[in-house]
Amino acid sequence: MKLIEHFVGGKKTPGKSDKKSKVFNPATGEQEKEVKIASKEDLDQAVMVAQKAFEEWSLKPALVRARVMFKFKELIEKNSDELTKLIVSEHGKVYEDAKGSLTRGLEVVEFACGIPHLIKGEFSENVGTSVDSWSIRQPLGVVAGITPFNFPAMVPMWMFPIAIACGNTFILKPSEKDPSCAIKLAELLKEAGLPDGVFNVVNGDKEAVDAILTNKDIKAVSFVGSTPIAKYIYENSAKNEKRVQALGGAKNHLVVMPDCDLESAVNGLMGAAYGSAGERCMAQSVAVAVGDIGDELVSRLSKKAEALKVGPGMDKSSEMGPLVTKEHLEKVKGYVDLGVNEGAKLIVDGRNLKLQGYENGFYIGGCLFDHVKKEMRIYNEEIFGPVLSVVRVKNFEEAAKLINDHEYGNGVSIYTRDGDAGRTFASKIQVGMVGINVPIPVPMAFHSFGGWKRSLFGDSGMHGMEGIKFYTKLKTVTSRWPSGVRSNAEFVMPTMK
């Protein structure tokens, strides 16, 4: 049985705790690995190492830090097949999808390569007579990232390339369900020339997370995961005087207007609802059929959902892989049972899917509900599986109200040929990331990723300039070099004469 350890101070280490957790291959349902689960002591030890490394790393010129990122970028490209296979073997998503998610992470590394420019300050000459003023951004110290299972490479890469490029040192606590990718990324960073102790991976569960939240030397916490845990991280980070950004769960809507190119909307929905088996925070899990488009929309969706090719992620013909664990599979099936009991119409039922040769894998076929109502739990709660709900509404205003009333506000999209509807939607909708004729509006690395309402606690999104601001603190210097004349004491607010 392969054992996954921690990575601290530039090398793998078992830590002191003996606790372990099982890591499965979702395609076969077999346990292939086990991962060490850190104690508070293990976490605190890693923070001490990171704190020591901060002393020198924070003093390196930004250009030197950028060069490590350039080399890291090359190494990710060189090792992309191995990284992708690690994602597939522990998460289950199909190979090309896993590779795409790695690329989206790589784009943040590319963004971080521009750190000398991104971190540049501002300078004003002569803000008063012979007085100059400038603002600079300085690193925070040791910062931590706590990440979910669904993007084992991309989500950590939303965080650490920018944090490190800004001069911080980093503790990553990845999901215990698919931890191998994080260790490989740590090895590649070392190979890229990153000094030991700047990037550390501590595997663990709630105990390690609580140790992060209470460790006084950790100055900022970035979290991505489910909403209840995001809220817990937000509250406890703040209580312990840390900067925090905590991204939570989602229930995303795709509005299908009667004037849209229906085939594009259907294809957009298929990929966005069933891609990665629905285990994406930007998955479109609600199709809002406006006016009289509902029957035709459901008819086209049902044919495609029935024809979905479900199989192991390494099989090139698979469009959708298994879910991450048996427990998660049972939870998703439970939601489908619930939808039936709540009175929604189950048009496509994937619950009984069996794959020859992979009988123990965590598979479910695509599921499609019609006539879902806004009071139902399957509408309100995040299912995080390949279950698409169609809600029918009379008009645009009803669609917008439905979305604005929802507790989550991560991503949303509208398919229409009406520019007025598209523009009004983008302006008025209470959601952080909006698509117009685009199914999954994930911002690029140089913009920022973040939802609204209960999809994000804190006030800054991931990567882009939000990331630079989150991982630095602003210092403003006001300076005078008097040339001979001494100023007198002033007892009133200085103003410009």
Annotated active-site positions, please? 281
| d(C-alpha 461, C-alpha 451), whole Å | 8
- The secondary structure of 278-332 as a DSSP string is G-STT-EEEEEEETT-HHHHHHHHHHHHHT--B--TTSTT-SB---S-HHHHHHH
**252 forms part of the interface with ligand NAD (CB under 6 A):** no
CA 46, CA 11: separation in Å to the nearest integer? 11
Residue 139 half-sphere exposure toward CB, CA atoms < 13 A: 28
What's the burial of 85, exposed, middle or buried (CB within 10 Å: 0-12/13-18/19+)? middle
278 binds ligand NAD (CB under 6 A): no
Binder of ligand NAD out of 83, 140, 250, 368 (CB under 6 A): 250
> Which residue is at the shortest CB distance from ligand NAD?
225
CB-wise, 84 or 448, nearer to ligand NAD? 448
User: Least distance (Å) from ligand NAD to the CB of residue 67?
Assistant: 30
For the window 209-238, what string marks contact with ligand NAD as x by the rule CB under 6 A? Answer: x--------------xxx--x---------
Q: Is 206 in the site for ligand NAD (CB under 6 A)?
A: yes
Of 25 and 147, the one with the shorter C-beta distance to ligand NAD is 147
Task: Compute the least distance from the CB of residue 34 to ligand NAD, in Å.
Answer: 15
Whole-number Å distance between alpha carbons of 273 and 347: 15
Q: Which residues contact 63 (CB under 8 A, 6 or more apart)?
A: 116
Q: Which of residues 410-449 bind ligand NAD (CB under 6 A)?
A: 410
CB of 50 to ligand NAD, least distance (A): 18
- Least distance in Å: CB of 417 to ligand NAD? 30
Note whether 281 binds ligand NAD by CB under 6 A. yes
Query: Does residue 382 belong to the site contacting ligand NAD (CB under 6 A)?
Result: yes
Measured distance CA(312)–CA(320) in Å, rounded:
8
Window 119-158: contact mask with ligand NAD (x via CB under 6 A):
---------------------------xxxxxx---x---
Q: How far is CA 118 from CA 11, 112, 122, 326, 447, in A?
A: 31, 8, 11, 44, 13
Does the footprint of ligand NAD cover residue 176 (CB under 6 A)?
Answer: yes
Burial class (CB in 10 A: 0-12, 13-18, 19+), 226: middle
- Does the protein bind ligand NAD through residue 180 (CB under 6 A)? no
Using the rule CB under 6 A, which residue among 139, 312, 313, 451 binds ligand NAD? 451
Closest CA to 280 of 247, 302, 310: 247
Query: Who's near 68: CB < 8 A, 6+ residues apart?
Result: 164, 189, 192, 193, 194
Beta bridge partners of 252: 284
Smallest separation (angstroms) from ligand NAD to the CB of 208: 8
In the complex, minimum distance from the CB of residue 335 to ligand NAD, in angstroms, rounded to a whole number? 13
Binding site for ligand NAD (CB under 6 A): 146-151, 155, 173, 175-176, 205-206, 209, 224-226, 229, 247-250, 281, 382, 384, 410, 451, 455
